[in-house]
Amino acid sequence: MITKAEIKTYFEGLQDQICASLEQADGKATFREDLWHREAGGGGRSRVIQEGNVIEKGGVMFSAVWGGLHEKMLASMGLTEKVDFFATGVSIVIHPISPMVPIIHMNVRYFEMSNGAFWFGGGIDLTPHYIVDEDARWFHQQLKNACDKHDFSYYPKFKTWADDYFFNTHRNETRGIGGIFFDYQKTDDTRTKDQLFNFVKEIGESFAPIYTYFMEKNKDIPFTEKEKTFQLLRRGRYVEFNLVHDRGTKFGLETNGRTESILMSMPPMAQWVYDYQAVEGSEEERTLGLLKKGIDWLE
């Protein structure tokens, strides 16, 4: 059975592979690496890429942290006795220069407690500034293909979970076109720990082919100042989700993680306009109208 040390080592290698792929696809920028240490236990490698040909700002973060579980986390899990935890994973957010290239996020993670409980989590979601049906269909098909290699129930189940999770309740809209999201994936009568880990590896290794495809396909599409302005508004909605709803951000801050790494997901620039209203019949109005749950992008 796979061990936490082996999972940690795999995630370190995944970070290396993804960074190399993104640097090659961008063709200009390279990652800056910061090694950091967490006083309570563990640390990580923060890698940030900025001012490239395609990528304006992005991060590929690896961490492996451990120690006593925070009281808030204990309460959220219904635990009364103090336990230690071990958590490791890779988290990615990429903000492109062009409003025609989508924002992407991925996270794959493993969590273990000293009481013997453990689980996997993760997912990928896409946030286009402008929703293009062809791109949305291709993206969801790649995720379905990856899920189907392991369990035909995964894609519909985890797609619905993503719709529900990546949702700005205060605006009644999804963050983007969703993707897949899963958490608390544990062993049962049909799945071993190794099988769950193989699925997580499948998702992690699908990231680079998916995003470099969009980088190459969309980077040279022309755009105007109008599209750049809308991109800043869409980035603002992205920030709202990460600060108000994202569990990973909250967990990192509550466990005294490295603030710079936790807030890496923020774009370099965003904008908020009071009571923004898209022009009727515009592409902006169309995109905002598609930010809703339950769309079958594979139809």
Strand ranges of the sheet holding 118-127, from the earlier edge strand across to the other edge: 32-37, 42-50, 55-68, 84-96, 103-113, 118-127, 179-185
Domain with residue 159: its CATH number is 3.40.1500.10
pLDDT at 299 (0 to 100): 84
Q: Residue 199: which of 160, 126, 144, 146 has the closest Cα?
A: 146
State which residues form the domain around 44. 4-289
The answer on pLDDT for 237 being more than 80 is yes
pLDDT at 258 (0 to 100): 77
Q: Cβ neighbours of residue 219 under 8 Å, at least 6 residues apart? A: 53, 54, 96, 98, 100, 101
Lowest mean pLDDT among 31-40, 230-239, 243-252: 243-252
In a domain, 158, yes or no: yes
In a domain, 67, yes or no: yes
In a domain, 261, yes or no: yes
pLDDT in tens, 59-97: 999 999 999 876 766 666 666 678 889 999 999 999 999
In a domain, 187, yes or no: yes
Q: Of the spans 39-53, 57-71, 240-254, which averages the highest pLDDT? A: 39-53
In a domain, 62, yes or no: yes
Number of domains forming the structure of the chain: 1
Three-class DSSP category at 221:
coil
Given pLDDT bands bounded at 50, 70 and 90, which one contains residue 15?
very high
Q: Tokens standing for 288?
A: 């905002």
pLDDT at 75 (0 to 100): 66
In a domain, 278, yes or no: yes
Whether the pTM exceeds 0.75: the reply is yes
Pairwise CA distance, residues 297 & 124, whole Å = 15
pLDDT in tens, 276-287: 999 999 999 999
For the packed helices 4-26 and 193-218, what is the interaxial angle rounded to 10 degrees?
10
pLDDT in tens, 139-176: 999 999 999 999 999 999 999 999 999 999 999 999 99
In a domain, 256, yes or no: yes
pLDDT at 264 (0 to 100): 86
Catalytic-residue membership of 105:
yes
In a domain, 297, yes or no: no
Pairwise CA distance, residues 295 & 293, whole Å = 6
pLDDT in tens, 106-150: 999 999 999 889 999 999 999 999 999 999 999 999 999 999 999
Among the listed residues 70, 95, 105, 245, the single catalytic one is: 105
pLDDT at 79 (0 to 100): 67
